[in-house]
């Protein structure tokens, strides 16, 4: 029996984490053997949670690189969940395929586009090899239509294409926006 790869993609606030959590909880009801991972953003190595913007959560293991997944799975593992998959190295694609070959159901959630509207990290290649892809939408914070993009704002203004990732003293925020309302200034200030 082989497993398969399921990917849930969309912009920020589209409900990717919610959907991952929903699938994990159902697998748990089915008494399956589950491990959930997320990229480690701080330096602690403890069990943390995948938490959706609506407050729902499941336990997750924070890891630095995709290969660490192998330290936490064994022959009994049936389901592997991965949140924020866009932050992993490209190797996550090979590893997801290997897990599926071994009979594991792999459920990955993440951003398909960055704030510039460009394909984000390993997500595009993961989509290509997945059995199932669900592309979900948020609600555009400007016009209320379905939103497939993440708007980056610096001090409340649309970010520029080459604005640095961390700006000292600046307040950075994100909104879900549709194609029409998404703005990325490409010119220099």
- In the list ligand ADP, Zn ion, none, the entry touching 78 (Cβ below 5 to 8 angstroms by class) is none
Does residue 16 bind ligand ADP (CB under 6 A)?
yes
If the CB atoms of residues 58 and 69 are measured against ligand ADP, the closer one turns out to be 58
Site residues (CB under 5 A) for Zn ion, limited to 143-182: 143, 178, 181
Tracing tokens 């998404």 back to the chain, one arrives at: 182
For the CB of residue 108, give the shortest distance to ligand ADP in the complex, in Å.
Answer: 12
Show Cβ contacts of residue 77 under 8 Å, excluding neighbours closer than 6 positions. 33, 34, 35, 104
Stretch that binds ligand ADP, among 12-20, 27-35, 97-105, 121-129 (CB under 6 A): 12-20
- Catalytically active residues are 84
Look at residues 137, 176, 181, 141 and name the one whose alpha carbon lies nearest to residue 9: 137
Does residue 17 bind ligand ADP (CB under 6 A)?
yes
Rounded distance between C-alpha atoms, residue 166 and residue 184, angstroms: 17
For the CB of residue 151, give the shortest distance to ligand ADP in the complex, in Å.
Answer: 10
- 113 annotated among ligand-binding-site residues: no
Stretch that binds ligand ADP, among 51-59, 63-71, 119-127, 155-163 (CB under 6 A): 51-59
Rounded distance between C-alpha atoms, residue 10 and residue 75, angstroms: 32
What is the pairing mode between strands 105-110 and 79-82?
Answer: parallel
Site residues (CB under 6 A) for ligand ADP, limited to 153-182: 176
Stretch that binds ligand ADP, among 10-18, 34-42, 98-106, 155-163 (CB under 6 A): 10-18
CA distances to 9, 25, 74 from 77, in Å = 24, 15, 6
Rounded distance between C-alpha atoms, residue 160 and residue 45, angstroms: 34
- 67 annotated among ligand-binding-site residues: no
Four-point Cα dihedral 83, 36, 3, 31, nearest 10: -130
For the CB of residue 115, give the shortest distance to ligand ADP in the complex, in Å.
Answer: 13
Rounded distance between C-alpha atoms, residue 178 and residue 96, angstroms: 30
For the CB of residue 80, give the shortest distance to Zn ion in the complex, in Å.
Answer: 35
Contacting positions for ligand ADP (CB under 6 A): 10, 12-18, 52-54, 138-139, 141, 176
């Amino acid at each position: 029996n082989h497993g398969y790869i399921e990917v849930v993609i969309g912009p920020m606030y589209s409900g990717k984490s919610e959907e991952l959590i929903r699938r994990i909880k159902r697998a748990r009801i089915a008494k399956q053997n589950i491990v959930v991972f997320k990229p480690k953003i701080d330096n602690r190595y403890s069990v943390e949670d995948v938490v959706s913007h609506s407050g729902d959560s499941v336990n997750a293991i924070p890891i630095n690189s995709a290969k660490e997944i192998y330290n936490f799975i064994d022959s009994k593992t049936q389901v592997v969940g991965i949140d924020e998959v866009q932050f992993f190295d490209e190797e996550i694609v090979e590893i997801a395929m290997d897990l599926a070959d071994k009979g594991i159901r792999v459920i990955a959630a993440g951003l398909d586009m960055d704030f510039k509207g460009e394909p984000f990290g390993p997500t595009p290649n993961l989509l290509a090899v997945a059995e199932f892809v669900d592309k979900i939408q948020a609600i555009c914070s400007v016009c209320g239509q379905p939103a497939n993009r993440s708007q980056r704002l610096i001090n409340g203004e649309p970010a520029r294409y080459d604005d640095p990732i961390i700006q000292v003293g600046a307040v950075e925020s994100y909104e879900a926006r549709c194609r029409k309302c998404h703005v990325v200034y490409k010119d220099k200030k």
